[in-house]
Amino acid sequence: MLIQARTFDADLGNFDGQLDPLLKRIYQARGIVDSAALERKLSCLPAPAAMQGIPAALELLISVLNEQQRVLIVGDFDADGATSSALMVLALTAMGYQQVDFLVPNRFDYGYGLTPEIVDLALGKRPDIIITVDNGISSIEGVAHANKLGMQVIVTDHHLPGASLPDAAAVVNPNQPGCDFPTKNLAGVGVAFYLLSALRAELRKLDWFAQHEIAEPNMASWLDLVALGTVADVVPLDQVNRALVYQGLMRIRAGQCRPGIQALLTIAGKPLQRLVATDLGFAVGPRLNAAGRLDDISLGIQCLLTNDPQQAMHSAQQLDELNQDRKLIEQGMQREALAIVEQIPLSLEGEVPVALCLFQPEWHQGVVGLLASRIKEKYNRPVVAFARGDGGQLKGSSRSIPGLHIRDALDAVATQNPGLITKFGGHAMAAGLSLDENKLLEFEKAFQRQVEKALGADDLLARMDTDGELASDQLSMNTAHLLRDGGPWGQLFPEPCFEGLFLIRQQRIVGEKHLKLVLAHESEPNRGIDAICFNIDVDEWPNHRAETVRCVFRLDINEYRGLEKLQLLIQFIEAC
């Protein structure tokens, strides 16, 4: 493991003079050079008018509203899709649309996106217009089929487009060619929020709300959904997304959130008042995603839609049970995957291949993405994990490492090997694909060749970037609060972590495999600091021969019975 401190230029930057020097250092290491880039007010957000496709979408949506036509939202089966679907239903209904419904296809029966089969299923609800959320940019055939059946389509999506766009009435996606919107990093729920904000503004100009005696909705009231979907989809937290997430977090902390979000946080044991972005990503998101992975994401959408706290809690409990099932399935798959990797011949240097392709016929389609992520984290290799689908097809989910744009890599493989991949799509760090089972070995070889071209030896070396060391007096509750309030932290704007040497005062295993320690900074050997390292290798720890450890850690605030105490969350530990 290579541990290195992030670099920054102390002479650069135009910051508020009252900014804490530690925060200034952390921000500079993340490319922030002035206080304006730290602004988190909604007023700092770019205007919706800059997003291509919104004017055409507004024209159609206002026509649909005037005629009170049927609207059907077609979403994706993850947390981003669930929050996007709920946001669309809630906002359109609040603006006066009287016939709004949603449909999220079961991933095991219909696959991803607005396929012709989904359009046929949607036809049973007799919609006049379909609005996709968090999908649709690659649904060429599905949109054409909807057009043929007399249903107009508005695509709202954030995924990268292919060589051509669907023939929709409007395409709203900041990543489409020719769109000058200043950020390309919105989640699907962020794109939906922007379209709905533009619609609300247009209806206000038309005096729609006053004429129809409808209370003009406050778009900020749904920022809890936007924050949840944005964090759960692990999109980069640039300034726009940080502002959206921060404002959503403030509303949740104030108790102004959907009953379903509050119920999910209650079940996860996360107090609203102390909520941080990582709680949305690691506590709420997985419970929503579990429905889409194992069953039907409609359960998650209904949890977000309901205004009844009791119904919300009932749905949240069902989602929690599904998440427990998902964990058990994932643990079994992970053991099998590790056994497979251990059987792979190593290079002369004792290294595993530059890319890993894993498959077991019994693996669960909905969990292979999580499996790929776990194996990627362990070996620092791009990973594609496959499960068996229908009709001799394999359904794969891939996760990448820095230096390899995984969707572009799959595109290159598909271009160089026509007919090898049935379909694919995704982002820089995660993508999905399908191929015939009898072509798995051919794909594995082609994928490894492509990865070898893109990555060098340094890229394959596992590394941890830190924000350097902390002085003993900085290991404090004040610093922990400073860092917590300095976020939100997330993808490409990582939560601060630090490195240092510590004396071991106590060590023991808690639970099944968590290492609980009391450490002391070398300059203050008599001051004990609580620390915990989750999922430790119990064959190596506790290590009672070790007196000193080198750690990479984050500062955490551990609350117990109303009392707050500093705790180090250890990401890496080695005896010195």
Q: What is the DSSP string of 220-267?
A: GGGHHHHHHHHHHTT----HHHHHHHHHHHHHHHTT-S-HHHHHHHHH
- What DSSP string runs through 356-418? EEEE-TT--GGGHHHHHHHHHHHH-S-EEEEEE-STTEEEEEEE--TT--HHHHHHHHHHHST
Band (295; pLDDT cuts 50, 70, 90) = confident
Element (DSSP H or E) covering residue 83: helix 79-94
The burial of 145, by beta-carbon neighbours within 10 Å (0-12 exposed, 13-18 middle, 19 or more buried), is given as buried
Among 405, 70, 369, 121, which residue's Cα sits nearest to residue 113?
121
Residue-wise pLDDT tens digits, 363-421: 999 999 999 999 999 999 999 999 998 888 999 999 999 899 999 999 999 999 999 99
Average pLDDT rounded to a whole number, residues 32-54? 93
- How do residues 241-290 score in pLDDT, each as one tens digit? 999 999 999 999 999 999 999 999 999 999 999 999 999 999 999 999 99
pLDDT at 457 over 90: no
Q: What is the pLDDT of residue 43?
A: 92
> How confident is the model at residue 171, as a pLDDT?
98
Smallest Cα–Cα separation from 429: which of 454, 395, 406?
406
Q: pLDDT grade, residue 2 (50/70/90)? A: confident
- Residues 524-567: pLDDT tens digits? 999 999 999 998 989 899 999 999 999 999 999 988 777 889 99
User: What is the pLDDT, as a whole number, of residue 100?
Assistant: 98
Q: DSSP letter at 77?
A: S
pLDDT at 276: 95
Torsion angle defined by CA atoms of residues 168, 169, 172 and 177, in that order, rounded to the nearest 10 degrees: 60
How many whole angstroms separate alpha carbon 563 and alpha carbon 559?
Answer: 5
Tokens linked to 384: 């594609």
- Over residues 173-188, the mean pLDDT reads 96
Instruction: Using CB atoms within 10 Å of the CB of residue 347, give its burial: 0 to 12 exposed, 13 to 18 middle, 19+ buried.
Output: exposed
Would you state the pLDDT for residue 429? 86
**pLDDT computed for residue 1 by the predictor:** 72
Q: How far is C-alpha 42 from the chain's CA centre? A: 22
The residues near 447 (Cβ < 8 Å, ≥ 6 apart) are: 355, 357, 384, 409, 410, 413
Sign of the C-alpha dihedral, residues 563, 568, 571, 573? negative
Q: In angstroms, rounded to a whole number, what is the distance separating the alpha carbons of residues 177 and 174?
A: 8
Percent of the chain with pLDDT over 70: 98
- Alpha carbon dihedral 66, 69, 74, 75, in 10-degree steps, equals 40
Which residue matches tokens 């900074």? 521
* Residue 510 CB contacts under 8 Å (≥ 6 apart), including other chains: 516, 532
pLDDT greater than 90 at residue 428 = no
Q: Is the pLDDT of residue 113 over 90?
A: no
Name the token pair of 250.
């403030």
Torsion of the alpha carbons at 338, 342, 347 and 352, rounded to the nearest 10: 0
Distance CA 222, CA 189 (A): 10
Q: Is the pLDDT of residue 220 over 80?
A: yes
Mean pLDDT for the chain?
93
Closest CA to 66 of 38, 32, 96: 96
How many CB atoms neighbour CB 55 within 10 A? 14
Pairwise CA distance, residues 236 & 490, whole Å: 7
Segment of 34-38, 54-58, 351-355 carrying the highest mean pLDDT: 54-58
Report the C-alpha gap between 322 and 246 in whole angstroms: 29
Going 266 to 270 to 274 to 276, the CA torsion angle's sign is negative
Three-state secondary structure call for residue 6: coil
> Which DSSP helix (H) or strand (E) runs through 565?
strand 563-575
Token readout for 101 is 């419904």
Q: Which domains does the chain have, with CATH numbers?
A: 45-319 (3.90.1640.30), 344-454 (3.10.310.30), 464-575 (2.40.50.460)
Instruction: Give the mean pLDDT of 334-338.
Output: 95
> What span, in angstroms and rounded, lies between the C-alpha atoms of 12 and 28?
8
- Residue 77 confidence (pLDDT): 85
Cα 482 from chain centroid (whole Å):
25
Which band of pLDDT confidence, cut at 50, 70 and 90, is reported for residue 348?
Answer: low
The CA distance from 128 to 139, in Å, is: 18
Q: Is the Cβ–Cβ distance between 406 and 376 less than 8 Å?
A: no
What share of the chain in percent tops pLDDT 90? 82
Query: Tell me, what's the pLDDT at 417?
Result: 96
pTM of the predicted protein model? 0.92
- At 218, which amino acid appears? N
**In 450-497, where do the E strands start and end?**
463-466
C-alpha span between 539 and 518 (Å, rounded): 20
Predicted confidence (pLDDT) at residue 236 exceeds the cutoff of 80: yes
**Spatial contact of 235 and 241, defined as CB atoms under 8 Å apart:** yes
Across residues 211-220, what is the average pLDDT? 95
Residue 23's contacts (CB-CB under 8 Å, 6 or more residues apart) are 482, 483, 486
- Length in residues, the chain: 576
Phi, psi of 53 (to 5 degrees): 100, -20
How far apart (Å, rounded) are the C-alpha atoms in residues 492 and 30?
8
Element (H, E) at 436: strand 430-436
Distance CA 132, CA 121 (A): 14
